[in-house]
Structure 1
Amino acid sequence: MTAPDTPRRSGLRGFTAGPSPWTDLDRPPLDEAALRRALIVPGGLWTSLDVLAETGSTNSDLAERARAGAPQGAVLVAEAQSAARGRMDRQWTAPPRSGLFLSFLLRPEEVPVERYGWLPILVGVAAASTLGRVAGVEVGLKWPNDLQTEIDGAERKLGGILTELGGGAVVVGVGLNVSLRAEELPVPTAASLALAGATTTDRSVLLRALLREFAELYGEWTAAAGDPQGSDLMRAYADRCTTLGRRVKVHLPGGAELVGEAVAIDGDGRLVVRAEDGARRAVGAGDVVHVRPEPR
């Protein structure tokens, strides 16, 4: 494999070089071999790890590998994505090597399919815990799993998680803004670890820590057959969920809206909203907006 900064020889004209990943010294490329040595260990969850210079979507790429029989624990990381997808089919872009853009493949055979809805929540808990411990940034989870932090008194989004089910496999995609500068943010409500004052923006350190944290929590969850209480996942999520206890507006599929107070997470990972008429409704899909209290 050619090293990232090795020039390429072109015929008899000598050396020519394409764009170097070392051009932006604040954003060095990931070391695929070092990540494999650190994460792929006997008896561990992770079975393969590939780093792509660029792709459309790591989720789409890994879903194709899953259909071809890729085992649980396959990890695919991209330095840049041109067709990244988020929840509600949203598209987003980011400068190369400015964040962590990865997907991993799970086959939780010990867990009933009806409990798979807890997987994106599990990933969110692992990510929030990792960023607090390793980067020193307090991160909350807006239901179901938007990674948020507070900057200058405002909630800002650091990243998101997308899970897709197919053929008995679950592909989990994670997008996290790491070193984006203010002028590079896609929308004013976005944020990055750098802008949040993180103690480290070393993507290799963050990636290793995130995958190790998730592997540990995933082991506990599968050992409990996906039971969110038996694995302590429900409590861990509730402790980090910034939506609970808030007045919310939920944009539901089909264009309807639900306004009320977010009062609980039910056994299926759905958000329970107490509507203005007092009725409780469990929401499994929708876009949640935190509504600020009316000024007095």
Structure 2
Amino acid sequence: MRGFGHTGPSPWTDLERPPLDAAVLRHDLVVPGGLWTSLDVVTETGSTNSDLAALAREGAPEGAVLIAEAQNAGRGRLERRWSAPPRSGLFLSVLLRPTGVPVERYGWLPILVGVAAAATVSRIAEVDTGLKWPNDLQVVIGGEERKIGGILTELSGGAVVAGLGINVTLRTGELPVPAAASLTLAGAAVTDRQTLLRGLLREFAEVYGEWRAAAGDPHASGLLPAYTARCTTLGRTVRVQLPGDRELAGEAVAVDGDGRLVVRTADGTRHPVAAGDVVHVRPERPESA
């Protein structure tokens, strides 16, 4: 990793994308009795998830936060690469050790991250943000659903490392794929990354505390209803690409107590799906008379 002593040329001269102030963030967020125990900002790294996973294997405590101004080997679900210009988004990972929560409920953590992130963006940036199952952050621009962020969680050293990437100020020509977007392109009222990050980590700490206090129960903690309220997949006709080149098509009717998407096929059978790549199928437009 390189720190802020880096004196290289142009990648760090975009005045519309100021660097994060780690000292201020630590002062505001790393407080006695709080969830966050350390917070570091690095100029560039391969993957914040990989870096924190290594620390987890060494026994690092819960509450470590690692933020990168740029990642050159960021990963998303299904090993997809995630890349963006320096300082154009929030790219971070947090280290969690959910004491008192059964391991079988750890699968709710990416959903929890998504709920906290969507709530923060909706409240601070004033951009209505939905969650495509299981945990892509979506906005609607010009009637089209566009992805502004994604989440990846991994087990390491008995801990969970949860990574999050959100596109904040990407311009149209910087988007990795046409289906992507950013808060700027969605007309956000606030794009200051310092403000968004502070709100996000506080929101996450609150939701995580409630979930952990309920021993990870998605009903008792309120996590399941909070997720279903924002899930853009429910009520939609979907195609789910399953492992082994299989496909399931039907209506997404629920998210069950294990966080699985329940798809009802044409014969009325309900299929719980634990993992897969979901495609939202647009309703067919009636032919004009």
TM-score by length of 2: 0.96
Aligned equivalents of 2:217, 2:155: Cα separation in 1: 19
Extract unaligned runs of 5+ from structure 1.
Answer: 9-16
User: Percent identity between the aligned chains?
Assistant: 73
Aligned residues: 285
Extract unaligned runs of 5+ from structure 2.
Answer: none
* Letter paired with 2:110: P
Q: Does 1:51 align with 2:35?
A: no
Query: Superposition pairs for residues 169-208 of structure 1, below 5 Å?
Result: 169-208=159-198
* Letter paired with 2:69: E
Aligned equivalents of 2:48, 2:103: Cα separation in 1: 23
Aligned equivalents of 1:3, 1:111: Cα separation in 2: 36
- Residue in 2 aligned with 1:92? 82
| 1:166-224 deviations in Å (ceiling 9; x for gaps) | 23200000000000000000000000000000011110100010000000000000000
Residue number among 29, 34, 39 corresponding to 1:39 in the alignment:
29
Q: Does 1:146 align with 2:136?
A: yes
Residue number among 60, 67, 70 corresponding to 1:77 in the alignment:
67
Aligned equivalents of 2:101, 2:111: Cα separation in 1: 15
How far residue 44 of structure 1 moved from its aligned partner, in angstroms, is 0.2
Q: Is the 8 A contact 2:3 2:42 kept in 1?
A: no
- Residue in 1 aligned with 2:271? 281
Q: Does 1:168 align with 2:158?
A: yes
| 1:13-67 deviations in Å (ceiling 9; x for gaps) | xxxx433675101001111111100100000000001111000000000000000
Runs of 4+ residues over 4 Å off in structure 1: none
CA RMSD of aligned residues (A): 1.4
Q: For 1:103, what is the secondary structure of its paired residue?
A: strand
Q: Is the 8 A contact 1:21 1:28 kept in 2?
A: no
Larger radius of gyration: 1
Q: Is the 8 A contact 1:32 1:50 kept in 2?
A: yes
- Residue in 2 aligned with 1:26? 16
Q: Is the 8 A contact 1:108 1:222 kept in 2?
A: yes
Q: Does 1:245 align with 2:238?
A: no
Q: Is the 8 A contact 1:21 1:29 kept in 2?
A: no
Residue number among 88, 98, 109 corresponding to 1:119 in the alignment:
109
